[in-house]
């Protein structure tokens, strides 16, 4: 496992975050076996959110049972809109979500805390002030946005620098080889994948801001179950969100090229897709959910695969 530093996070952070937006975690079930397995593989970072139903309870129970709070990195998120779409980017909602999350996670401190969505009608400086207050109170370490555009992050950080405050130091957009052609969940999902988002990726390269990439395998599109030769199987094998967000001819061509390269290199499709992410010269941490310890082991092995510039370009239809 590879690790890197994220400013304001005490522990080194594994390059793979284990995602909890899946079962048995979301139903609040016992995830001990899976958590134990991925932790034994070297993954010490866990991605969860207030809106992931029972996931925080499942994760918090395991961490407390194992007595490893000081050894793991918890990322959680606040401020997700209500089911009816009411935006919740405000201090009352952020603090309420934190108190609930900390209770379920059985900790008084969250290492990385993100706003799950943005509300452009709220001044970015207001959000910076709220996060700085929570940091000063010892409640959170690093903070930033999930599904925030790089332009909005720039606004937030310009305010922070002008007022001698801590800026956003982490961001969690959608990022992976699959181009997110439609918003899978609604409510303002932000992607930096695909040809339309080169400017955003260049900004992340220049700033070296940590990118915690969600849906890094296209929400199952590059899981290896779906074959490029059987596009009609997508609705059977993928969730409705994955179908909405990633099913398009261009992504099936990316999948076909992944399959070819995987066969050539004697590895798997998800390993090639993961290797593509880490070949982009961004400061990337990938969020990966898996119900199989063996599949997670393969994802970790992808960190060792080095793709040439030509291979990287070809996979993304640039050559």
Q: What is the pLDDT of residue 187?
A: 76
Q: What is the pLDDT of residue 7?
A: 96
CA distance 152 to 156: 6
How are the residues of the chain apportioned to helix, strand and coil, as percentages rounded to the nearest 5? 45, 15, 40
For residue 84, the domain's CATH number is 3.20.20.100
**Which residues of the chain have a pLDDT value below 70?**
none
Q: What is the pLDDT of residue 292?
A: 83
Specify the number of domains making up the chain: 1
Q: What is the pLDDT of residues 195-204, one digit of tens each?
A: 999 999 999 9
Burial of 136 (0-12, 13-18, 19+ CB in 10 A): exposed
Any bridge partners for residue 213, and if so which?
286
CA distance 311 to 308: 5
Distance of CA 281 to the CA centre of its chain: 17
- Return the structure tokens found at 297: 């082991």
Q: What is the pLDDT of residue 145?
A: 97
Domain that holds residue 12: 3-315
Q: What is the pLDDT of residue 85?
A: 85
Q: What is the pLDDT of residue 295?
A: 85
CA distance 107 to 96: 15
Going by C-alpha positions, the residue among 177, 122, 169 that lies closest to residue 142 is 169
pTM: predicted TM-score of the whole model, two decimal places: 0.94
Q: What is the pLDDT of residue 319?
A: 76
CA distance 52 to 20: 8
Q: What is the pLDDT of residue 72?
A: 98
């Amino acid at each position: 496992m590879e690790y890197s530093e994220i400013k304001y996070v005490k522990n080194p952070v594994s390059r793979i975050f284990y995602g909890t937006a899946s079962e048995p975690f979301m139903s609040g079930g016992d995830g001990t076996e899976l958590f134990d397995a991925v932790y034994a593989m070297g993954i010490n970072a866990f991605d969860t959110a207030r809106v992931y139903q029972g996931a925080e309870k499942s994760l918090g129970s395991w961490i407390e049972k194992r007595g490893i709070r000081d050894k793991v990195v918890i990322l959680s998120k606040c401020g997700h809109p209500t089911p009816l779409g009411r935006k919740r980017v405000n201090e009352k909602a952020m603090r309420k979500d934190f108190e609930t999350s900390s209770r379920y996670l059985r900790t008084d401190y969250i290492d990385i805390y993100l706003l799950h969505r943005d509300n452009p009608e709220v001044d970015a400086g207001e959000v910076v002030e709220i996060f700085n207050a929570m940091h000063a109170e010892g409640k959170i370490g690093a903070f930033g946005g999930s599904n925030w555009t790089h332009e909005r992050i720039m606004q937030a950080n310009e305010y922070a620098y002008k007022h001698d405050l801590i800026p956003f130091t982490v961001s969690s957009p959608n990022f992976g080889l699959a181009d997110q052609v439609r918003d899978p969940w609604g409510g303002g999902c932000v992607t930096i994948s695909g040809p339309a988002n080169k400017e955003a990726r260049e900004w992340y390269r220049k700033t070296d801001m940590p990118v915690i990439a969600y849906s890094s395998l296209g929400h199952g599109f590059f899981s290896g179950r779906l074959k490029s030769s059987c596009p009609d199987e997508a609705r059977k094998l993928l969730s409705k969100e994955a179908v909405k967000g990633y099913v398009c001819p261009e992504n099936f061509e990316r999948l076909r090229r992944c399959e070819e390269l995987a066969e050539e290199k004697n590895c798997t499709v998800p390993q090639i897709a993961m290797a593509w992410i880490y070949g982009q010269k961004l400061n990337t941490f990938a969020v990966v959910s898996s119900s199989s310890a063996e599949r997670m082991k393969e994802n970790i092995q992808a960190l060792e695969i080095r793709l040439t510039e030509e291979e990287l370009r070809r996979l993304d239809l640039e050559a």
